[in-house]
Amino acid sequence: MEEKLKSIRLIFWALAFVILLGLLFTSCKSATTVSSNELVVSDKLKWSERMAQTLMAKHPNAYEIDNKTAPKWDYVHGLVMTSFEELYKKTNNKKYYDYVKGYADATIDSEGNIPSYKFENYNIDMVIAGNHLFYLHEKTQDKRYLKALQTLRSQLAAQPRTSEGGFWHKKIYPYQMWLDGLYMGAPFYARYTVTYENGKQLDDVAKQFDLIQKNLLDTKTGLLYHGWDETKEMNWANKETGTSPNFWSRSLGWYAMALVDALDYFPENHPKRQQLISYLNSLSDALLKYQHASGLWYQVTDQGDREGNYLEASGSAMFAYAFAKGANKGYLPKRYKQHAEKAFNGLTRDLVKVTPEGYTILTQVCAVAGLGGKENRDGSFDYYINEKKKDNDPKATGPFILAALELDK
């Protein structure tokens, strides 16, 4: 009997030891291991918030977006802050508002100056960086935000122009207009003149689009070239037309977003409003011809069959946003909402990866592309397809959030 009891005790202590070891192992496992009920970002949220909370988790200070280590005034931050502003308006979740305000307060000093901004560069990219300040000033009446807005407006007033009145892209790119520049300048310009100038410069805003259509449109495809050099002297410029040689999806995306965002500030009775709507419709119709079966678009828009070309996230997200907003606002036929849905579904199905922590990672994003400059970028097919890719580049995450909001996803 005693032998039997001894065996039972041994089994009991052996089991207790195994259980204790298991508990010790569980408590000591790496803090980076995340179980299904320890998600940093909940998979029950809509895609707009999943992406926003991913960015906030990875970049606790908004200025850290794009891997910055110090506050910097930059267009990519302006784009993402615009998406967070819209997300706050939709959700009323104060943490999104605080994130936007945090960026403004990190980049604008107590006097309303922007230390990391250089007026004399006449870089139109820097204007959109202040797009979120309209809402902050309206909400807080903080004069610092108004002063920063006025500084950016002063840049537009002094911005060098082509002989026809189009804004140069940058001082270092004289006599050049790029599609990108319309998003960088036009929505801000329209919003400012309506908010503070009784809309007196809306004709000048519309003129920027008119000049793009006149000088960059390819009538065969209905697409617009990335850039145009009035002097026709740049290495990338066609010696007869001044245009760059290819259609780059992100530049077309910037232009489409510029149209839908600037149109918000054109009253229905403005003589140029219908013209801008027609530009948006023409571009959208042309883009549909090149939408891949997946819903996405190629890096070089019209050459999907060429080796090395790839389905690119930022341009696709921008088109999804422009189509969805255009349809929601009545600028585009309602069917464009379905095309936007198809594009967004392509992004989430084919290009989004979700980490064990619940982070949303958007892949296949062209990190940067331009024309000329120190690198002597020639705008060739090979140039565009060989530029580096970067996961969750803000030029994709911002439009992704905006598209998700328009589609309520």
Residues 107-117, mean pLDDT to the nearest whole number: 98
- 326 in a domain, yes or no? yes
Expressed as residue numbers, the domain containing 129 is 44-407
Residues labelled as active-site residues? 180
* CATH classification at residue 271: 1.50.10.10
Residue-level pLDDT at 159? 99
- How much of the chain exceeds pLDDT 70, in percent? 91
- 181 in a domain, yes or no? yes
Given a cut of 80, whether residue 405 has pLDDT beyond it is yes
Residue-level pLDDT at 147? 99
pLDDT digits (tens, 9 = 90+) for 143-191: 999 999 999 999 999 999 999 999 999 999 999 999 999 999 999 999 9
Given a cut of 80, whether residue 36 has pLDDT beyond it is no
Residue-level pLDDT at 409? 96
- 14 in a domain, yes or no? no
Give how many domains the chain has, as a whole number: 1
- 207 in a domain, yes or no? yes
Show the tokens assigned to 65.
């977006």
- 30 in a domain, yes or no? no
For residues 62 and 68, give the distance between their C-alpha atoms in angstroms, rounded to a whole number. 9
pLDDT digits (tens, 9 = 90+) for 317-335: 999 999 999 999 999 999 9
Given a cut of 80, whether residue 375 has pLDDT beyond it is yes
- 68 in a domain, yes or no? yes
Residue-level pLDDT at 39? 72
Q: What is the mean pLDDT of the chain?
A: 94
Given a cut of 80, whether residue 35 has pLDDT beyond it is no
Check if the beta carbon of residue 168 is closer than 8 Å to that of residue 174.
Answer: yes
- 127 in a domain, yes or no? yes
- 12 in a domain, yes or no? no
